[in-house]
Amino acid sequence: MFPIIRLVNRNLTISINPAFLLWQIIFPVIYIFIAGFAYTSLIQEVPYGVKNLGYPAFLASGMIGFNIMNSTLVSGIIIWNDRKYGMFEQIMSGPFTRTNYILSNICTIGIIGLVSATLIAVIGYPVFFDSIEFSLITIPLIVFAAVTGSVLFGSIASIIATKLKSSEGFNVILNTAFLFFAFVSTAFYPAVGAPEPLRTVFFFNPLTYLVDVIRAGIFGEITQLVIIEMGILASIATILFIIATKLLTKLDF
Amino acid sequence: MSCVNVEHLSKSYGSVIAVNDISMSIKKGQVFGFLGPNGAGKSTTIKLLTTLIQPSSGNLSILGINAIKNPLKVRHKIGAVLQQPSFEPTLSVEKSLEKYGMMWNVPKTERKIRMEKLLRDFELVEIRKKRNEDLSIGQRRRVQVAREFMHEMDLLFLDEPTVGLDPSARRNLLDYLKKKVKTGLTIFFTTHILTEAEYLCDEIAIIDQGKIIAVDTPEALKKRFGNKKTIKIHLLKNQEDIISLLSGIPDCTIDFSSGTNITIHSEQSEVVLMKVLRILNENGKEIDDLSAVPTNLEEIFLKMVSENVSNH
């Protein structure tokens, strides 16, 4: 077995526990089926390309992106725990390189991101099945978004984990950053109608691009803007991944 | 055959020299003890030898491999129990062992066999289902050491492995290590407990302020640095005249802590002891207890380190 696969196996074992899985299911269920339908009285339909989406369908597709981002907290937590509990040093004294370690983390969050996206797609299917337009082009789009989004947000979590020494600081900063990403994006509501400058700020947020690409994949609306967003997403993910890798490589024992 | 060859190895952090031009050679199949006070450079040396950090200068060969050029190749053949506790808090004891074996690419069936054996050998059977975060410090340390034996290795680095262990667990571990050495394993062992080093090690190096100040077998170190022995005599009654009676004995220093206790330090302990006994006998002084204390490694260690400090 390749070293990276062995480390991924280990990462999945230590990060996936019943509480995590339950949270991954319960959280989106509450959002989609309670908030989604409750807010229908405020937002009945959301214009999306040539269609009008029901709010639950809009929210469910946004939840896929949100959950991918949330799952990547795992990456930061793995690095943080490995440093705190001495496993980073222990692994590095074994038959692994730092590159193995970094790539295994990325693969781990990629897998968790994909599984998470699939899970929400299955859970949310009853609310957006009317508007779904899957095709051979749109499905790879969702996979692209899941993997790129995982790398992007996983890298952010990794950067924070390498930079902070106190667990309080780590939790506060990570949660604040992810809360900002969640609510200053188009995951829960459309940008159209949001007041300026909030509306503009939405587009400085990578979660907005991630969610837009996922929606394009689900509802089959691949526009030029979506392609640009994919490029931006991939570029930010690459830059953040390089920064995270450099910081991890410089970690002292 | 040499298992580890260190030549003029140094490691600096800015202006601080943690390891200063050390050289040593460790033979295959022996336990090599590495002693030194806190901050002497023991852990930095272990990190250099396990290739966790790169040296500032010098040469390092581990198991015949150039460890500076091929660190990964070295790490495939060694095991390391580092000073810092390392564990996965949410995993149970048995899962920790199993996953560690998997990380080292040990086949599944072999992992199962080794895990069961280690659980027994390290007396972990009763706590096998307990999560690491719920274990005591000593139990966690036992798991950490046991875990390292999940994989095959030629050389094992143990950085103060008995910290936190109770005396019984400590002795079990030392005996387990002795058994492993008989199968051909080489061990590099650091400790603060010098009786452990004396019990386990075939050869000992003493490091202080980043420099190795002595390397030899425990016995040779004792011969070289511990000729002076201590004789303790406890008399039955308070004897005020004992000072004048013994003061004429040459080649020794005599301390009277009270009228009944006499402590004699001498490099000619046997000759001095005979003279003391003769004088006491001739003067009718009754002895309650007598003991000759051999010089232990701890005394040598303290002597050498204090001499090294005063030389600097």
Q: What is the pLDDT of residue B220?
A: 85
Q: Record the pTM.
A: 0.82
B86 vs A1, A85, A95: nearest CB = A85
What share of chain B in percent tops pLDDT 90? 62
Displacement of CA B137 from its chain's centroid (Å): 20
Q: Residue B226: is its pLDDT beyond 80? A: no
Higher pLDDT among residues A140 and B94, named by residue: B94
How many other CB atoms are found less than 10 A from the CB of residue A44?
A: 10
pLDDT at A102: 87
Which residues from B are below 8 Å from A85, CB to CB? 85-89
Give the A-side interface with B, CB within 8 Å. Answer: 1, 6-7, 9-10, 13-14, 17, 81, 85-87, 89-97, 253
Residues of A in contact with B75 (CB under 8 A): 93-96
B2-217: which CATH topology? Rossmann fold (3.40.50)
DSSP-derived 3-state class of residue B234: strand
More confident residue, B88 or A140: B88
Q: Say which of A1, A85, A93 has its CB closest to residue B88.
A: A85
pLDDT in tens, B187-214: 999 987 888 888 999 999 999 999 999 8
**Which residue of A12, A91, A93 is the best one to mutate when testing the B interface, meaning the one whose CB has the most B CBs within 10 A?**
A93
Q: Is the pLDDT of residue A103 over 80?
A: yes
- Closest residue in B to A89 (Cα–Cα): B52
User: Are the C-beta atoms of B39 and B52 separated by less than 8 Å?
Assistant: no
pLDDT score at B227: 66
A252: exposed, middle or buried (C-beta count within 10 Å: 0-12, 13-18, 19+)?
A: exposed
Q: Is the pLDDT of residue A253 over 90?
A: no
Q: Report, as an integer, the average pLDDT of A123-148.
A: 79
From chain A, the residues in CB contact with B47 under 8 A are: 253
Name the fold adopted by B227-294: Alpha-Beta Plaits (3.30.70)
Whether A92 sits inside 8 A of B52 (CB atoms) is yes
For A30-63, how does the pLDDT look when each residue is reduced to its tens digit (9 = 90+)?
888 888 888 877 877 888 877 788 888 888 888 8
C-alpha closest to that of A155 among A50, A21, A90, A248 = A248
Taking residues B146-159, report their average pLDDT: 97
Rounded CA-CA distance B99/B141 in Å is 17
Task: Tell me if B232 sits within 8 A of B262, measured CB to CB.
Answer: yes
**pLDDT computed for residue B261 by the predictor:** 83
| pLDDT for B309 | 67
Segment B233-257 shows an average pLDDT of: 78
Q: How many residues would you count in chain B? A: 312
Residue A248, pLDDT score: 85
pLDDT of residue B58: 96
Residues of chain A contacting residue B152, judged by C-beta atoms under 8 Å apart:
none
Quick: pLDDT tens for A107-132. 898 888 888 878 888 887 787 777 77
Interface probe with B: pick from A5, A90, A101, most Cβ of B within 10 Å: A90
pLDDT at B268: 78
List C-alpha distances in Å: B94 to B99, B109, B115. Answer: 9, 14, 7
Question: Which residues of chain B have a CB within 8 Å of the CB of A96?
Answer: 75, 103
Domain-wise residue ranges, chain B: 2-217, 227-294
**Short-list A244, A219, A253, A216, CA closest to A105:** A244
Q: Which of B11-20, B95-104, B164-173 has the highest mean pLDDT?
A: B95-104
Give the per-residue pLDDT at B293.
74
Identify the pLDDT of residue B300.
74
pLDDT, position B312: 64
Using alpha carbons, list the distances in angstroms from residue B175 to A39, B168, B195.
69, 11, 14
Q: Please tell me the predicted confidence (pLDDT) of residue B221.
A: 81
pLDDT digits (tens, 9 = 90+) for B109-124: 999 999 999 999 999 9
Burial of B30 per CB tally in 10 Å (0-12, 13-18, 19+): middle
Q: Choose the closest CB to B90 out of A14, A89, A97.
A: A14
| Pairs across A and B, CB distance < 8 A | 64
Per mean pLDDT, which of A29-33, A62-66, A165-169 is the most reliable?
A: A62-66
Say whether A90 and B86 touch across the interface (CB within 8 A). yes
Q: Which residues on B lie below 8 Å from A8 (Cβ)? A: none
**pLDDT(A137) > 80:** no
Query: In the predicted model, what is the mean pLDDT of residues A159-188?
Result: 86
Fill in the amino acid letter for A174.
L
* Nearest Cα residue to B296 out of B228, B208, B234, B232: B228
Residues 6+ apart with CB under 8 A from B231: B263, B264, B266, B269, B272, B273, B276, B290, B291, B292, B293
Q: How far is A157 from chain B (nearest CA, A)?
A: 19
| B107 contact residues in A (CB cutoff 8 A) | none
Residue type, B103: M
Residues near B115 by beta carbon (within 8 Å), at least 6 away in sequence:
B94, B97, B98, B101, B150
Residue-averaged pLDDT of chain B: 89
* Cβ separation A81–B89 shorter than 8 A: yes
Predicted ipTM beyond 0.85: no
The mean pLDDT of A64-72, rounded to a whole number, is 85
- Per DSSP, helices labelled H in B122-217 are 137-148, 167-182, 194-200
Q: Which of A14, A94, A253 is facing B75, going by the closest CB pair?
A: A94
Task: With cut-offs at 50, 70 and 90, classify the pLDDT of residue A74.
Answer: confident
Does residue B257 surpass a pLDDT of 80? no
Across residues A200-210, what is the average pLDDT?
A: 89
- Residue B91 has a pLDDT of 95
- The predicted model gives B63-69 an average pLDDT of 96
Chain A nearest-CA distance from B62, in A, is 14
Question: Per-residue pLDDT for A247 more than 80?
Answer: yes
Residues of chain B with Cβ-Cβ distance to A5 below 8 Å are none
Q: Say whether pLDDT at B281 is over 90.
A: no
Give CA–CA dist B118/B97, Å, rounded: 9
Q: Which of B81, B80, B309 is nearest to B211 (CA)?
A: B309
> Which of B72, B78, B87 is the closest to A97 by Cβ?
B72
